[in-house]
Amino acid sequence: MFQYLIRRLLISIPILLIGSFLVFILVASAGDPLAGLRTKPGVTAQQIHSLSVQLGLDHSILVRYWDWLTSFLRGDWGTSVALGEAQSPVFTTVSSALWVTMRLVIGAELIALVLGIGVGVFSAVRQYSIFDYLMTSVAFLMFSMPIACVAVVVKNYGIQFNDLLQSLHLKRWLTTAGPPPGGFGSNLGQVIVSYSGTFLLPTISLMTISFAAYSRFQRASMLETLNADYVRTARAKGLSQSRVIFRHAMRNALIPVSTLFALNIGAIIGGAIITERVFGWNGMGTVLVKAVSNYDPPTLMGWFAVTATVVVVFNLISDLLYGLLDPRIRLG
């Protein structure tokens, strides 16, 4: 197990290196970081030239990549060059955005996972029941909805719910535009109310699509194990229905879903881009959209390096989970 972990980590390093190099080339060739300055009145060619020397733009791409990589590994992620954002350090921007996004995503994913597993198991046990058909239709519908529209609709209902609360002379509860600026409050009651109000809507919109995937996967794998020989043996031994379902069938059926959970993380960060946009959170999505539209290479590189590392780490977790859940799979 330990050996396997080390080997996997060693394999991830060249993949991350080559990946970051390719992304570096893409980012570097995607635009001109000084384009804004070139058209700005009052900036001389001399100034532009000295700035491009300062940014290392007169060197070849290999040298620039090497410079970026070495300073990145030393913890110096550079500073933003976009007009208006200039001089803000990339490390602070990206790490605070990552914290915002992960807080949102991990909570939503865990809830989606638990709900998805529950619904999947129940649908499989009662296959072709009304519940099963209903949940199948719901999942199909959720698969087919663009996440942006889901978020917009959820936000819209949140606003209407707040209006309803206000018309009943209560305080508005749900937050539809970013986390509260002054923190979550001082006493426990306040914290719970404002925390749940802040996270509820973005969590619901992030959950929908993952929930659909998890419930379908769980249903399929549960149906498979329910038809397996060892489940028939367990029944033949006279075990109770709940023991057969939970101890024998469900435990084995959990494997594909839990690995999907970890593998999915890249796609989920993509989904979070949209959700953050709609709910006005300052997370990875907002940072990316800003960095792309202002063409800000240092921020873009920091963004890609962080997300790629997160994805690689979660892939590793997925592999390890596989080995832990299924003792037949020997890692090594």
Partner 1 sequence: MANATQTAGDGGGAVAVRHEFDAKARSQTSIILGRFVRHRLAMVSLAVLVLLAVASFVVPMFLKFSYADTRAGSYLRPGGGHLLGTDQLGRDAFAQLLRGTQFSLAIAFTVAISSTIVGVLIGAVAGYLKGLVDSSLMRLVDLFLIVPQIALTALLVHAFAPSWYIVAAVLALFNWMQIARITRGEALSLSAREFVEASRASGGGTWHIVFKHLIPNMIGTITVNATLSVSTAVLTEAALSFIGLGVQLPDTSLGLIVQDNYTQVLLRPWLFWGPFLAIVAISMTISFIGDGLRDAFDPRQTKVRA
Q: What is the crossing angle of helices 251-263 and 297-325, to 10°?
A: 170
Minimal distance, residue 292 CB to partner 1, in Å: 5
Q: Judged by CB, which is closer to partner 1: 16, or 228?
A: 16
Among 80, 101, 295, 298, binds partner 1 (CB under 8 A): 295
Q: Does 68 bind partner 1 (CB under 8 A)?
A: no
Q: Judged by CB, which is closer to partner 1: 29, or 54?
A: 29
Q: Does 149 bind partner 1 (CB under 8 A)?
A: yes
Q: Does 119 bind partner 1 (CB under 8 A)?
A: no
Q: Judged by CB, which is closer to partner 1: 86, or 141?
A: 141
Q: Judged by CB, which is closer to partner 1: 160, or 190?
A: 160
Q: Does 249 bind partner 1 (CB under 8 A)?
A: no
Dihedral, 295, 298, 299, 302 alpha carbons, nearest 10: 140
Q: Does 51 bind partner 1 (CB under 8 A)?
A: no
Q: Does 57 bind partner 1 (CB under 8 A)?
A: no
Q: Does 31 bind partner 1 (CB under 8 A)?
A: yes
Q: Residue 314 corresponds to which amino acid?
A: F
Q: Does 255 bind partner 1 (CB under 8 A)?
A: no
Q: Does 138 bind partner 1 (CB under 8 A)?
A: no
Q: From the CB of residue 81, how many other CB atoms can be counted at a distance below 10 Å?
A: 21
Asked if 121 contacts 216 with a C-beta cutoff of 8 angstroms, the reply is: no
| DSSP assignments along 182-249, one per residue | T-S-SSHHHHHHHHHHHHHHHHHHHHHHHHHHHHHHHHHHHHHHHTSHHHHHHHHTT--HHHIIIIII
Q: What are phi and psi of 79, to 5 degrees?
A: -125, 155
Minimal distance, residue 271 CB to partner 1, in Å: 8
Residues 157, 73: Cα–Cα separation, whole Å: 45
Q: Does 201 bind partner 1 (CB under 8 A)?
A: no
Q: Residue 23 corresponds to which amino acid?
A: V
Minimal distance, residue 304 CB to partner 1, in Å: 6
User: Which CA distances in Å does 46 have to 39, 43, 50, 87?
Assistant: 14, 8, 6, 21
Residues at the interface with partner 1 (CB under 8 A): 15-16, 18-19, 22-23, 26-27, 29-31, 136, 140-141, 143-149, 152-153, 156, 159-160, 216-217, 219-220, 223, 266-267, 269-271, 273-274, 277, 285, 288-289, 292-293, 295, 300, 303-304, 307-308, 311-312, 315
